[in-house]
């Protein structure tokens, strides 16, 4: 069994990964600062089940606190899964410095703490946002990502570059995982599927940006977790590694079709308001996942209609808790 540090362990992906790793018998050290980007109550609720495990140790810390992070990492680990970061494309346009601080600086602190503690393996949460509006689709990992269109995107690209530098200088084995719009039970409340479901149940209109033809490569949470576990296994069995892989679904769905699918899952016909496309939003995201298939046997299994049913059931069962958190 491994000793694994998971940063951002109370977030949507982080909490789901932590639960799975604990169930698998690994020892997990979790770090989270309960960033108020969305309600910390929701994140604390995400973490409740994990706190029941004897093989889980939790630290409430900000990754920019260099001494605290160094102290936690000095306890040792086989690998770090660095999921913590400031999320959100549109908010990054208003507060770019927050993304430089919480993504770029925090990642540099993590890398230096790893160096200090002699931890050599890192799985890093990057994003499909780094591709910008590259017309060469599906997006392969080797195409240019030199044209980000939001501060969030450039912060993630910058972290990938940081990771490469520490890999080169200090012989760290690193895989950058580019996630593609992850959804499912416990999804962040600011993301479209959660937001639209909430608005439908509250009989409020949905605000759609653009004509509805923009599309996203939605990836169900269990498929993403499976991909992360595959990355962990790969890193633990290989040396001299620096790789970038897409963890997407390779099946983009338009905004208009997404709304129809959520309507079918909820049984509610939505009211719709349309506004112009927002700055920083990309038109279409589409992952080429052939590299992930070959490297880690990554095979997303959940169809959108199945995943949406699971999300809607979770939303209905957790409505009261979510209400308190908002």
For residue range 272-290, list pLDDT tens digits in order: 999 888 887 888 999 999 9
**Which tokens hold the place of 43?**
């994140």
Is there a domain that residue 189 lies in?
no
From residue 143, alpha-carbon distances to 71, 134, 140, 167, 227 in Å are: 38, 9, 6, 21, 21
Q: What does the pLDDT look like over 27-39, one tens digit per residue?
A: 999 999 999 888 8
| Model pLDDT, residue 325 | 58
Does residue 196 sit within a domain?
no
Percent with pLDDT over 90 in the chain? 87
Percent of the chain with pLDDT over 70: 98
Per-residue pLDDT at 280: 78
Parent domain of 174: 3-183+219-249+286-301
Residue closest to 35 by CA, chosen among 94, 90, 93, 83: 83
Tens-place pLDDT, residues 99-128:
999 999 999 999 999 999 999 999 999 999
The CATH code of the domain that includes 239 is 3.40.50.720
Model confidence pLDDT, tens digit, residues 28-72: 999 999 998 888 988 999 999 999 999 999 999 999 999 999 999
Backbone phi and psi for residue 182, each to the nearest 5 degrees, phi listed first: -80, 135
- 27 belongs to a structural domain: yes
CB 171 within 8 A of CB 120: yes
**pLDDT single digits (tens) 137-186:** 899 999 999 999 999 999 999 999 999 999 999 999 999 999 999 999 99
pLDDT at 324 over 70: no
Q: Is the pLDDT of residue 326 over 60?
A: no
Looking only at the bridges linking them, the beta strands covering 253-254 and 215-216 are antiparallel
What pLDDT digit, counting tens, does each position of 236-265 carry? 999 999 999 999 998 899 999 999 999 999
Domain count, the chain: 1
CA distance 56 to 83: 17
Is residue 148 situated within a structural domain?
yes
pLDDT averaged over every residue in the chain: 95
Active-site residue, 53 included = no
Q: How far apart are CA 83 and CA 179, in angstroms?
A: 11
Q: pLDDT value at position 49?
A: 95
Q: Is residue 146 part of a domain?
A: yes
Q: Has residue 281 been placed in a domain?
A: no
Instruction: Please report whether residue 112 resides in a domain.
Output: yes
Among residues 38, 99, 131, 152, the one annotated as catalytic is 152
Any idea what the Cα angle at residue 214 is, between residues 208 and 217, rounded to 5°? 115
């Amino acid at each position: 069994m491994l000793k694994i540090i998971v940063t951002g362990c109370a977030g949507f992906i982080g909490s789901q990964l932590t639960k799975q790793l604990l169930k698998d018998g690994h020892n997990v050290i979790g770090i989270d600062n309960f960033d108020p980007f969305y309600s910390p109550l929701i994140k604390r609720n995400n973490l409740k089940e994990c706190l029941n495990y004897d093989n889980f140790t939790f630290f409430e810390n900000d990754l920019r606190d260099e001494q605290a992070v160094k102290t936690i990492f000095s306890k040792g680990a086989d690998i770090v899964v660095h999921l913590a970061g400031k999320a959100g494309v549109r908010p990054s346009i208003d507060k770019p410095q927050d993304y430089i601080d919480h993504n770029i600086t925090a990642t540099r602190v993590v890398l230096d703490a790893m160096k200090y503690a002699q931890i050599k393996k890192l799985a890093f949460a990057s994003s499909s946002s780094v591709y910008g509006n590259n017309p060469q689709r599906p997006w392969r990992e080797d195409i240019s990502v030199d044209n980000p269109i939001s501060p969030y995107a450039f912060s993630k690209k910058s972290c990938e570059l940081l990771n490469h530098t520490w890999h080169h200088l200090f012989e760290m084995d690193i895989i950058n995982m580019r996630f593609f719009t992850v959804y499912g039970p416990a999804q962040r409340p600011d993301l479209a599927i959660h937001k639209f479901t909430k608005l439908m149940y509250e009989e409020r209109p949905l605000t759609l940006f653009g004509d509805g033809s923009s599309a996203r490569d939605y990836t169900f949470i269990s498929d993403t977790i499976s991909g992360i576990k595959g990355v962990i296994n790969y890193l633990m069995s290989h040396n001299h590694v620096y790789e970038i892989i897409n963890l997407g679904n390779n099946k983009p769905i338009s905004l208009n079709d997404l709304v129809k699918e959520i309507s079918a899952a909820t049984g509610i016909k939505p009211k719709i308001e349309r506004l112009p496309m927002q700055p920083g939003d990309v038109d279409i995201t589409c992952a080429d996942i052939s590299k992930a298939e070959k490297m880690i046997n990554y095979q997303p299994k959940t169809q959108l209609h199945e995943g949406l049913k699971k999300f809607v059931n979770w939303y209905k069962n957790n409505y009261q808790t979510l209400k308190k958190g908002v």
